[in-house]
Amino acid sequence: MHTVVVGPFGTTAEDVIAVARGNARVELSGEALDALARAREIVDALAAKPEPVYGVSTGFGALASRHISPELRAQLQRNIVRSHAAGMGPRVEREVVRALMFLRLKTVASGHTGVRPSVAQTMADVLNAGITPVVHEYGSLGCSGDLAPLSHCALALMGEGDAEGPDGTVRPAGELLAEAGIEPVELREKEGLALLNGTDGMLGMLVMALADLGKLYTSADITAALTLEALLGTEKVLQPELHAIRPHPGQGASAANMAAVLKGSGLTGHFQEESAPRVQDAYSVRCAPQVAGAGRDTMAHAALVASRELAAAVDNPVVLPDGRVESNGNFHGAPVAYVLDFLAIAAADLGSIAERRTDRLLDKNRSHGLPPFLADDAGVDSGLMIAQYTQAALVSEMKRLAVPASADSIPSSAMQEDHVSMGWSAARKLRTAIDNLTRIVAIELYAATRAIELRHGLTAAPASLAAIEAARAAGVEGPGPDRFLAPDLAAADAFVRSGALVTAVEAVTGPLA
C-alpha cells in the first residue's frame, strides 16, 4: 500500500487524494516528531506560569477572559471538543472526513500547534485503521476554521461519539479504537483547541474538486468537439494562431483539445452548403474554448490558493520558532472560500453552454438536417426531448449553487467572531455543482454521439469514433426507437465520471490538457 509521509512543511494535493480516496497509509517523519516535541516543551513551560495564555490557560472565544486553573485544564480541553461537536444533518462523505483528518494532522505535524507527538501519532493510527468519525453537513461557519466537523473528529480520538469502521458500519468510536488497539487520547493544555481550529474541511474539498474538475473540463472539451462535428460546424475557429492573439492559457488548451479530437473529421466544414447556409457557428459552439478556457484559468488560480494553504499551519494561537505563542486570525477561511465560490460560478457557466449545445442538436430548425429531438420516428417517438429537460433542470440548480456563500457572513460567539467565511458551505455546494456538471456533460455526450451516428454518409474523426465505440461498449445506447431512457443516461454519467471518455479519446489523440 502507498505510504504518505507527513513532515513539518506541509503536504501536496496528490497526498491528500491518496489518503482521502486511496486509503494510503500515513506516517510521521522524524522531523515532524522533533518539531512536535520542541513545540510541546514551549507549551508546557507556558502552562506552568501564573500569567494567562490564550488557548493554554484561558477559555475560548468570547470566554477567553477567564483564567483556568491547572486542575481544570484537562477538563477544559475535553469540554471544548464535546461542546463544539455540535453538527447536525446528514453525514458527509468518507473521503471528505479522511481529507479533513489528514490535513489537520499536516498542521499538527508542523510543530506550530503545541500538540504532543503522541496525539499526532494517534491521529495517524486512526486514519490507518480505517476509522472515520461521523461528521455532519451543518456546523461550520468557516471561521474559526471548520470547528464542528473537526470537533467530531477530535471526539473520536477521545474514544467518544460515533465513527464508521473499516467494514462501513457506524459504531461507538471507543469500541472501534479498542478493536484497533488504539488508546484514546487524554487531552492536555492547548490540544483540544489545536485539533479544531483550521480550514481543513474546506481545503480538502477544494483539493478533490480541482482533481474532479480537471478531468471534467477535458471531458467537456471532447463533448463540445463532438457537438461541433454533429452540427457540421467548422473547426477553423480552433486554429492556434487565433488563440495566440488572445493568450489566455486555458482558452488555448481547450481549443487544442477540441482540434485534436476533430482531426481527420469528415463532418466538419459543411456549413456553407446550400442545404444549410450560415456564415458562423452559434456562440455555444464557436466560443466553447473561450468559456471552458476561462474555467480552466479559474482552476489554475484556485490551485495556487490551495497550494499555499497546503503549505500553511493554521491554528490559533500558534507556537513560533522563537518560543512565543501568539494569537492570530489565520483560521479565517476567506482565501479558500472565495475560490470555492469562483469554481462554482465557472462550473455553472460550463454547464450552461453545454446545455445550449445539446438543445441545438435537438431543434430541427437549428440542427442542420438532424431529425427533431434526434427521434427515430418524430411524433411517434419523443427522442431526447426530456433528456434535455433533465439537463436544463440541472443547469438551473447550478445557477442557484453559483450564488457565493462567502458573501454571506453571519456573526457568532456573542459578536466576538463577528465575520466568518462560510467556506465549508461554499465547498459543500461546489461538490453538488460538480455532480450536476458531470450529468450535464454526460447528456451532451449522449446527444452528440447519437447525432453523429445519424449523419449517414459522413465519417466522424477517428477520436470521435473511438469515443462512440467506448460509450456503446459501456452501455450508452445509440439511435433507435424510444426506450426507457434513464438507464442510458446513467450509463453515460458513469462513463464520463469514471474518466473512460477521456481515456478512449486519448488512445487516439495522445494526452489532452
Please tell me the distance from the alpha carbon of residue 19 to that of residue 461, in angstroms, as a whole number.
39
What 8-state DSSP symbol labels residue 185? Answer: P
Alpha-carbon distances of 303 from 53, 300, 307, 317, 339, rounded to whole Å: 36, 5, 6, 27, 9
Contacts of 247 (CB under 8 A, 6+ apart): none
Chain centroid, CA 254 distance in Å: 21
CB 198 within 8 A of CB 1: no
Is 54 catalytic? The answer is yes
Please tell me the distance from the alpha carbon of residue 70 to that of residue 375, in angstroms, as a whole number.
77
Say how many C-beta atoms besides its own lie within 10 A of residue 343's C-beta: 25
Task: Give φ, ψ of 9 to 5 degrees.
Answer: -120, 35
Nearest CA among 128, 108, 125, 126 for reference residue 22: 128
Grid cell listed for 494:
458513469
**Which one-letter amino acid corresponds to residue 86?**
A
Chain centroid, CA 382 distance in Å: 36
Torsion sign (Cα): 473, 479, 484, 488: positive
- By residue count, the chain amounts to 513
Please tell me the distance from the alpha carbon of residue 501 to that of residue 193, in angstroms, as a whole number.
46
In sequence order, what are the beta bridge partners of 132?
164
Using DSSP bridges, classify how beta strands 136-138 and 170-172 pair: parallel, antiparallel or unpaired. unpaired
| Residue from 54, 217, 283, 446 carrying the catalytic annotation | 54
Alpha-carbon distances of 247 from 218, 239, 250, 291, 293, rounded to whole Å: 19, 13, 9, 14, 11
**Which one-letter amino acid corresponds to residue 210?**
L
SS3 readout for 310-346: HCCCCCCCEECCCCCEECCCCCCCHHHHHHHHHHHHH
Of the chain, the end-to-end C-alpha distance in Å amounts to 29
Grid cell listed for 468:
462512440
What 8-state DSSP symbol labels residue 61? Answer: G
The residues that are catalytic are 54
